[in-house]
Amino acid sequence: MGELIDLVILGSTGSIGIQALEIVEENPDRFRVVGLASGSKNIQLLAEQARKFSVPVVGTTGRRDELISLLGNTHVIDGPLAASEIASITCGVVLNGITGSVGLGPTLAALAVGNKVALANKESLVAGGDLVMAYGSERIIPVDSEHSALYQCFLSGKSSEVNKVILTASGGPFRERKDFSDITVADALNHPTWAMGPVVTVNSATLMNKGLEIIEAHYLFNLPYSKISAVIHPQSVVHSMVEFRDGSTIAQASPPNMKGPIAYAISGANRIPKATLPVDWSKAHSWDFSPIDSAMFPAIELARRCGELGGGLPAILNAANEVAVDAFLAGKISFMQIIEIVEASVQKLGGNSPVTIRELSDVSAIENDSRIIANQLVQEHK
Ligand code: MG
């Protein structure tokens, strides 16, 4: 039995945060929650979590008075920097389960004070990969299932022996669909294998999620884009693979359940008993793999191009995508217009993007420009 790990959980009321707290509840001898942060949308749940796990410090983006009246003595921090403040509490592991590039500041804040980060917020690496990796990769354990798989597969060889990595993609709900013109929000939110938050689910339907994950893998594992590929695997059991130079491919497999990668990351790359159910070999089943149709799903190649050009382009791509996905979820644009708007935003802004990102404010400025352009395009498309 290891020692008790002090955990800070950012985005505690979201899908990742809720599952992390279930793992904590099942393993009270392994984890103690020392800080929670979430947006102010679900203040009731945040208060409930803080009470249940006797959390001493809680952060939220607003509704401070309400939270204090629910919590009494607990130390409450509010405002846009609350998550970053909570992330810089010295602790065992900070789980960043925030959705969107607003998670970048808290990731940097956690790393700056020497904390380990269980990183579920892929946008930290997409929008600010150079800034995050300036701290090195040693203290970052990915939570994204594909990157958790790669992290585990990398342990079977030396990085100099790696030919390439292969990210698996479920293909989302529209893998076999021939016509995207009448897709509804409900269709896009109906993911065949994974239960996730709405933004990631829509990103999985456009396959932008896989595009962002290629950029994430580039930074996290210091790999050139030519060594990162993706393949459709509808069952979502093989979470990703590493091909070594001797022709061996190492894969990590488990039925789709985010508790596996969350538990692995928050325990500091240790294996918690029964974190998830293993593959059931007593039943017949098959794993399929097929190439991605990039004509139907242009998001992956768009993301790859932005990644290869580097600088501010991945941040532009991601911010425009966040705007477009919100607009789609709000019924303002069609499914197909999501990637059209992202591509047009990248084209409009790409030439002006600075070559290097030096600090967080560089990222914020680029993202701000991208959001303005993307919002204009949403208005025009309505
Ligand atoms: Mg993933």
Centre of ligand 1 from the C-alpha of residue 34, in Å: 27
CA distances from 102 to 128, 193, 226 (A): 11, 27, 29
Condensed to tens digits (0 to 9), the pLDDT of residues 328-360 reads 999 999 999 999 999 999 999 987 656 678 999
Centre of ligand 1 from the C-alpha of residue 191, in Å: 13
pLDDT score for 381: 81
Give the integer Cα–Cα distance in Å for 24 and 262: 11
CB atoms within 10 A of CB 271: 10
Centre of ligand 1 from the C-alpha of residue 264, in Å: 15
Highest mean pLDDT among 61-65, 223-227, 354-358: 223-227
Lowest mean pLDDT segment, chosen from 143-152, 153-162, 342-351: 342-351
The full 3-state SS of the chain, as one line of letters, equals CCCCEEEEEECCCCHHHHHHHHHHHHCCCCEEEEEEEECCCCHHHHHHHHHHCCCCEEEECCCHHHHHHHHCCCEEEECCCHHHHHHCCCCCEEEECCCCHHHHHHHHHHHHCCCEEEECCCHHHHHHHHHHHCCCCCCEEECCHHHHHHHHHHCCCCHHHEEEEEEEECCCCCCCCCCCCCCCHHHHCCCCCCCCCHHHHHHHHHCHHHHHHHHHHHHHCCCCHHHEEEEECCCCCEEEEEEECCCCEEEEECCCCCHHHHHHHHCCCCCCCCCCCCCCCCCCCCCCCECCCCCCCCHHHHHHHHHHHCCCHHHHHHHHHHHHHHHHHCCCCCHHHHHHHHHHHHHHHHCCCCCCCCCHHHHHHHHHHHHHHHHHHHHHHC
Residue 329 φ/ψ, nearest 5 degrees:
-65, -30
Centre of ligand 1 from the C-alpha of residue 68, in Å: 35
Centre of ligand 1 from the C-alpha of residue 260, in Å: 13
Centre of ligand 1 from the C-alpha of residue 167, in Å: 9
Centre of ligand 1 from the C-alpha of residue 73, in Å: 38
Centre of ligand 1 from the C-alpha of residue 216, in Å: 10
Centre of ligand 1 from the C-alpha of residue 358, in Å: 27
Give the residue-averaged pLDDT of 58-81: 90
Could you give the domains of the chain? 5-142 (3.40.50.720), 144-304 (no CATH), 310-382 (1.10.1740.10)
Centre of ligand 1 from the C-alpha of residue 119, in Å: 11
Paired with 76 in beta bridges are 58
Condensed to tens digits (0 to 9), the pLDDT of residues 71-129 reads 987 899 999 999 999 999 999 999 999 999 999 999 999 999 999 999 999 999 999 99
Centre of ligand 1 from the C-alpha of residue 146, in Å: 5
pLDDT score for 195: 76
Centre of ligand 1 from the C-alpha of residue 77, in Å: 31
Give the integer Cα–Cα distance in Å for 219 and 130: 8
Mean pLDDT over the full length of the chain:
94
What percentage of the chain has pLDDT greater than the value 90? 88
Condensed to tens digits (0 to 9), the pLDDT of residues 245-293 reads 999 999 999 999 999 999 999 999 999 999 999 999 999 999 999 999 9
Centre of ligand 1 from the C-alpha of residue 145, in Å: 5
Centre of ligand 1 from the C-alpha of residue 128, in Å: 18
Stated pTM of the model:
0.95
Centre of ligand 1 from the C-alpha of residue 144, in Å: 5
pLDDT score for 3: 86
Q: Residue 65 is encoded by which pair of tokens?
A: 């008075």
Centre of ligand 1 from the C-alpha of residue 192, in Å: 14
Checking 111-114 for CB contacts under 8 A at 24+ apart, the result is 111/135, 111/139, 111/140, 112/88, 113/88, 114/90, 114/139
Closest alpha carbon to 274 in 265, 285, 263: 263
Centre of ligand 1 from the C-alpha of residue 185, in Å: 20
Residue 76 φ/ψ, nearest 5 degrees:
-110, 130
pLDDT score for 353: 57
